[in-house]
Amino acid sequence: MSRLAGRRAWRGIIEEYRPYLPVTDETPVVTLLEGATPLLPAPRLSARVGAEVFLKLEGLNPTGSFKDRGMTLAISRAAEAGAEAVVCASTGNTSASAAAYGARAGMVCAVLIPEGHIALGKLAQALVHGARVVQVRGNFDVALEIVRELPARAPVVVVNSINPDRIAGQMTGAFEIVDVLGDAPDVHCIPVGNAGNITAYWRGYLEYRKAGRSSVLPRMLGFQAAGAAPIVNGAAVENPETIATAIRIGNPASWYGATAAASESGGGIHAVTDDEILQAYRFLAEEESVFCEAASAASVAGLVKVGVPEGSRVVCVLTGHGLKDPDLAISQLTVPTAVDADMDSVLAAIGL
Ligand code: F0G
């Protein structure tokens, strides 16, 4: 008999959270069974910051990032509306997710990516799922401006987070956290790029409290990379630069959503440097055995930097999987040279 006998299988975020989402019985559900990602206790990080810290491992979604939560809904609703083509601008993860869910729905998927600034794994995903990949000479912000205008010129649905279905689907991350912890955490730490996800989590926490599923609301702490920190600076950044290419964004579409989340929750939006991001990236891998993207590590870099009251319950969202960007990992480390294939050489190389 199966070890899972008697346990109900996870059905993906639309079926699991249907009453909270804009779907009807007529909506064709396009799912890869996203969601139900682990909320991993982080003992060493907890000791370091004097709090009880959990890591929400969004890299374990079907395409390796949190984007799948919003994409299942955006593609399902596009299918319901009869769309045959979808389009997005992306720093990589949205394009990977749109490509996968678009293929599942039998739709044409076009993705605009900034030339030379997306991680190799994400480019591979968009290509392998059959998307029409357009490399644009310009950054994400420029690509998104073109995408915004596309529906006026061609029959396509935009699946960036300017599409409200994306935000609605991403609320489910907050639902899962509350379902596991029994209530909302005291503090929620999250990287901020185009600012859709912080907007979605805050809305998710509000929705769940309204529904009586939680009794408190977290302080929302959002973190931008210092070289791409328009919200922190209070002005758009024309040429954003950061090692964390996923959040290399100078003019976030959900700017207002992010500032509202921060101010309404008593939180804030702060900047972390590339050095701080890389230190958190290494710490997570070495001390907590979690390999995440550099952009994801911004949430932990920020937690370490700004601190929280002693004993707080904290959730850091790790938005994407480290395997998306092996080039970055390797560039931070020394790859050993080969040794002769004999016992003495191997023992010497191991150093034991
Ligand atoms: N972390 C990762 C790994 C991301 O890919 C993104 C955004 C963010 C954080 C920031 O989330 O934009 O909702 O504030 N990636 C988008 C993309 C922009 O195109 O894949 P946000």
Residues facing residue 110 across a β-bridge: 87, 132
Q: Which of 110, 93, 193 is nearest to 157 (CA)?
A: 110
Instruction: Give the SS3 label for residue 244.
Output: coil
Residue 5: its pLDDT value, please? Answer: 74
Choose the residue to mutate in 61, 93, 188 for probing ligand 1, maximizing ligand atoms within 8 Å of C-beta.
Answer: 93
* Ligand 1 pocket member 65 (CB < 6 A): yes
Put the strands of the sheet holding 108-114 in their side by side order.
Answer: 132-136, 108-114, 85-89, 157-158
Tell me the C-alpha distance between 316 and 272, whole Å. Answer: 15
Query: Which residue's CA lies nearest to atom 19 of ligand 1?
Result: 90
Atom of ligand 1 nearest to the CA of 324: 3
Choose the residue to mutate in 60, 91, 167, 316 for probing ligand 1, maximizing ligand atoms within 8 Å of C-beta.
Answer: 91
What is the Å distance from ligand 1's center to 289 Cα?
22
- Walk along the chain (352 residues) in steps of 10 and give the mean pLDDT of each run: 76 98 98 98 98 98 98 98 98 98 98 96 98 98 98 97 98 98 98 98 98 98 98 98 98 98 98 98 98 98 98 98 97 93 97 90
Q: Would you call 342 exposed, middle or buried from its count of C-beta atoms within 10 A (0-12, 13-18, 19+)? A: exposed
Please check whether residue 266 is in contact with residue 277, taking contact to mean a CB–CB distance below 8 angstroms.
no
Amino acid at 94: T
What is the Å distance from ligand 1's center to 187 Cα?
20
Tell me the C-alpha distance between 92 and 233, whole Å. Answer: 25
Residue 2: its pLDDT value, please? Answer: 59
In the 8-state DSSP scheme, what is residue 314? E
Tell me the C-alpha distance between 12 and 159, whole Å. Answer: 19
* Ligand 1 pocket member 293 (CB < 6 A): yes
Q: Would you call 36 exposed, middle or buried from its count of C-beta atoms within 10 A (0-12, 13-18, 19+)? A: middle
Instruction: Give the SS3 label for residue 170.
Output: helix
**Can you list the alpha helix ranges (DSSP code H) found in the chain?**
13-16, 43-49, 67-80, 93-104, 120-128, 140-149, 164-170, 172-181, 196-210, 230-233, 255-265, 274-287, 294-306, 326-331, 343-350
Q: Which of 17, 4, 50, 58 is nearest to 319 (CA)?
A: 58
What is the Å distance from ligand 1's center to 248 Cα?
9
Q: Would you call 81 exposed, middle or buried from its count of C-beta atoms within 10 A (0-12, 13-18, 19+)? A: exposed
Q: Which of 34, 66, 30 is nearest to 196 (CA)?
A: 66
Q: Which of 233, 224, 268, 230 is nearest to 251 (CA)?
A: 230
CB burial of 46-72 (b: ≥16 within 10 Å; e: otherwise) equals beebebbbbbbbbbbbbbbbbbbbbbb
* Ligand 1 pocket member 299 (CB < 6 A): no
- Angle (CA) 300-304-306 rounded to 5° is 110
Neighbours of 38 (CB within 10 A): 15
Q: Would you call 142 exposed, middle or buried from its count of C-beta atoms within 10 A (0-12, 13-18, 19+)? A: middle
* Ligand 1 pocket member 295 (CB < 6 A): yes
Residue 307: its pLDDT value, please? Answer: 98
Tell me the C-alpha distance between 190 and 295, whole Å. Answer: 10
What is the Å distance from ligand 1's center to 287 Cα?
24
* Ligand 1 pocket member 165 (CB < 6 A): no
Tell me the C-alpha distance between 281 and 133, whole Å. Answer: 29
* Ligand 1 pocket member 195 (CB < 6 A): yes
